[in-house]
Amino acid sequence: MNLFRFFSKGQSAPAARERLQVLLAHERAATGDVDLVNKLRDEILKAISKHMQVDDEKVSIKMERGAQVSTLAVDIEIPFDAGKKAA
């Protein structure tokens, strides 16, 4: 192995440690069935489907789990006449 390249890269173990801590915190919470982000995702979709026919292809869900904050982005295309159909 090229020694110069070896030393110029910096440590990667701290990144591994941080990633594992965040991931495991979320996974442990999930097995206790208190995974809030998953629950919110399901309930938001349920609420929407009450008011309109949800076309699965038109719903995009993104999550990003962080140490302090997680984000949940639900992006739904609502057709102009969606309200009428449900009524």
Compute the C-alpha angle 47/51/53, nearest 5°: 100
CB of 59 to other proteins, least distance (A): 7
Q: Which CB atom, from 64 or from 83, has the smaller least distance to other proteins?
A: 64
Q: Which CB atom, from 30 or from 86, has the smaller least distance to other proteins?
A: 30
CB of 54 to other proteins, least distance (A): 11
How large is the C-alpha radius of gyration of the chain?
21
25 vs 51: CA distance, rounded Å: 35
Beta bridge partners, 45, equal: none
Q: Which CB atom, from 1 or from 87, has the smaller least distance to other proteins?
A: 1
Residues interacting with other proteins, by CB under 8 A? 1, 3, 5-6, 9, 12-13, 15-16, 19, 22-23, 26-27, 30-31, 41, 56-57, 59-66
Q: Cα dist. 45→40, 55, 75 in Å?
A: 8, 11, 11
